[in-house]
Amino acid sequence: MKFSLPTLLATAALIHSSAAHYCFNRLIVNGNITSEYEYVRKNNNSNSPVTNVNSTDLRCNAGGLLTGSTTKTHSVKAGDTVGFALDTGIGHPGPVQVYMSKADSTAKSYDGAGEWFKIYELGTSDITDDGLQWATNDITNFTFALPQKLPKGEYLLRVESIALHGASTYGGAQFYISCAQLSVESDATTAAPAGDFVAKIPGVYTGNEPGIMLNIYYPVPTNYTMPGPAIWPSGSAAHSAVFVGESAAASTAASTPSSAATSAVNVAAVTPVNTPANTPVFSAPAYSAPAAYSTPAAYSSYYAPAYTPGATPAATPGASSSGGAIGVYGQCGGSNYQGSTTCVSGATCQRWNDYYSQCVASAAAAAA
């Protein structure tokens, strides 16, 4: 029996979809990882992805509009460093984006029916002859700065990972979504986001966008367009690659609170992020289409390439720069990064790649 190329592509997508799903279940605020679903609304769909862009589930995941009253709201300030930690590494190819929506009263009671604006995105780290290389690959947490111009109020902070392994047909993209609840203190007098910066959810996507419906395998893409509105405020550097690259095995010690995790955990007291030997490096083999295949298994190796250990990243001393000292897990360097390169006492600035350097606690500080 012979298989056509479309059949083999569909088979490869099914192979990918069988991989473990992932959930953004913990909020990170200024270096503290909170407990599971303490400040993040819990969904009720066994962590299955949302695929209907016209559903209200696209706001905060299935069931996410029902759990606001039982979820805490975290107090933050405009400019604070926030982010999300996952229960496992991101296992599907695609971008991560973060939106916010201001509640009309409290975050607990807000259903997300208002306007949403994007404040952060993390897409491709490179585009090569092998295709799109994702900065999101296998990361288990990431952080970024809230805009300094963010008006005071209570908000939903929404993260979405768009999995594109089956996105060659309409409805094939998978959205992994979580919403955290924030109360923002701010002295900003800037007007709230408006115009082209805002959109309703659902309504922000049609599902036909080139960044949502595309075949990421063949023909090999040469570009990628992030879907949705532009990042607010205009000119924000929030789209720089701020992430923690690590394998799922390494993430347990790096980003999971110890014991029962009943309260916020200071990251500085947790074992530093992955040992370099456990950091996977994605290396996709070059593709050449043969005339025919005798079995789907002959093609699966291209779509499920093996991971190989990467080279040990060189440590980058935390040289003095403008701004204050960066806390553990915070960004301290990388392409286009303009912030401080000085880490807090007991941490050093570790270079993971050209796009991201991160403050990690020394072994002595972690053991203290």
Which has the closest alpha carbon to 273: 24, 85, 98, 133? Answer: 85
**pLDDT value, residue 361:** 79
In the 8-state DSSP scheme, what is residue 68?
G
**pLDDT value, residue 179:** 98
Q: Is the per-residue pLDDT at 62 higher than 80?
A: yes
Does 258 share its domain with 297? no
**pLDDT value, residue 16:** 41
Does 248 share its domain with 316? no
pTM, 2 dp = 0.66
Q: How many CA atoms lie within 13 A of 317 on its CB side?
A: 2
* Domain boundary residue, one of 197, 227, 262: 262
- Listed in sequence order, the residues at least 6 apart from 25 whose beta carbon sits closer than 8 Å to its beta carbon are 36, 37, 40, 85, 86, 87, 178
Q: Is the per-residue pLDDT at 332 higher than 70?
A: yes
- Listed in sequence order, the residues at least 6 apart from 216 whose beta carbon sits closer than 8 Å to its beta carbon are 93, 131, 132, 164, 165, 167
Q: Return the higher-pLDDT residue of 301 and 86.
A: 86
Q: Return the higher-pLDDT residue of 230 and 358.
A: 230
Q: Calculate ∠ Cα 244-267-339, nearest 5°.
A: 60
Provide, for the chain, the percentages of residues in helix, strand and coil under a 3-state DSSP scheme, each rounded to the nearest 5: 15, 30, 60
**pLDDT value, residue 91:** 92
Does 194 share its domain with 309? no
Supply 181's token pair: 């609840």
**pLDDT value, residue 262:** 25
Which has the closest alpha carbon to 248: 274, 266, 282, 272? Answer: 274
Per-residue pLDDT band at 355 (split at 50, 70, 90): low
Does 302 share its domain with 248? no
The rounded mean pLDDT for the chain is 76
Residue 13, domain member (yes or no): no
Residue 32, domain member (yes or no): yes
Per-residue pLDDT band at 323 (split at 50, 70, 90): low
Q: Is the per-residue pLDDT at 299 higher than 50?
A: no
Q: Return the higher-pLDDT residue of 51 and 16.
A: 51
Does 283 share its domain with 250? no
**pLDDT value, residue 264:** 31
Average pLDDT estimate for 6-18 = 40
**pLDDT value, residue 335:** 66
Residue 129, domain member (yes or no): yes
Residue 1, domain member (yes or no): no
**pLDDT value, residue 331:** 78
Does 140 share its domain with 40? yes
Alpha helices in 46-136 (DSSP H): 57-60
Per-residue pLDDT band at 41 (split at 50, 70, 90): very high
Residue 11, domain member (yes or no): no
Q: Is the per-residue pLDDT at 114 higher than 60?
A: yes
- Listed in sequence order, the residues at least 6 apart from 123 whose beta carbon sits closer than 8 Å to its beta carbon are 95, 96, 134, 135, 136, 224, 226, 239
Residue 57, domain member (yes or no): yes
- Could you count the other beta carbons within 10 Å of the beta carbon of residue 346? 15
Q: Is the per-residue pLDDT at 122 higher than 60?
A: yes
Does 135 share its domain with 280? no
Residue 232, domain member (yes or no): yes
**pLDDT value, residue 209:** 98
Does 179 share its domain with 239? yes
Q: What percent of the chain has pLDDT over 90?
A: 57
- Listed in sequence order, the residues at least 6 apart from 325 whose beta carbon sits closer than 8 Å to its beta carbon are 318, 340, 342, 343, 344, 345
Domain count across the chain: 2
In the 8-state DSSP scheme, what is residue 187?
-
Does 181 share its domain with 38? yes
Sign of CA dihedral 90, 91, 94, 99: negative
Q: Return the higher-pLDDT residue of 12 and 81.
A: 81
Residue 240, domain member (yes or no): yes
**Alpha-carbon distance 140 to 251, whole Å?**
6
**pLDDT value, residue 141:** 97
Q: Kindly report, residue by residue over 263-292, the tens digit of the pLDDT.
A: 233 333 332 232 222 223 333 334 334 433
Does 214 share its domain with 306? no
Tokens 């009253």, located at residue: 69
Which has the closest alpha carbon to 232: 117, 341, 339, 334? Answer: 117
* Domain boundary residue, one of 203, 234, 262: 262
Average pLDDT estimate for 342-351 = 88
In this structure, which amino acid lies at residue 76? V
In the 8-state DSSP scheme, what is residue 182?
E
Q: What percent of the chain has pLDDT over 70?
A: 67
Distance between first and last Cα of the chain? 63
**pLDDT value, residue 113:** 98
Which has the closest alpha carbon to 178: 36, 55, 54? Answer: 36
Q: Kindly report, residue by residue over 175-202, the tens digit of the pLDDT.
A: 999 999 999 999 999 899 999 999 999 9
Q: Kindly report, residue by residue over 143-176, the tens digit of the pLDDT.
A: 999 999 999 999 999 999 999 999 999 999 999 9
Does 205 share its domain with 109? yes
Does 96 share its domain with 198? yes
- Number of helices (H) and strands (E) in the chain: give both, helices first: 5, 18
Structural domain boundaries enclosing 359 = 276-367
* Domain boundary residue, one of 262, 285, 302: 262
Which CATH number does the domain housing residue 28 bear? 2.70.50.70
Q: Any idea which of 73-77, 126-130, 303-307 has the lowest mean pLDDT?
A: 303-307
In the 8-state DSSP scheme, what is residue 138?
T
DSSP E strands: which ranges in the chain?
24-29, 32-33, 74-77, 81-86, 96-102, 116-122, 124-128, 131-134, 141-145, 153-163, 174-185, 198-199, 265-266, 280-281, 308-309, 331-333, 347-353, 356-361
**Alpha-carbon distance 350 to 329, whole Å?**
10
Q: Is the per-residue pLDDT at 138 higher than 60?
A: yes
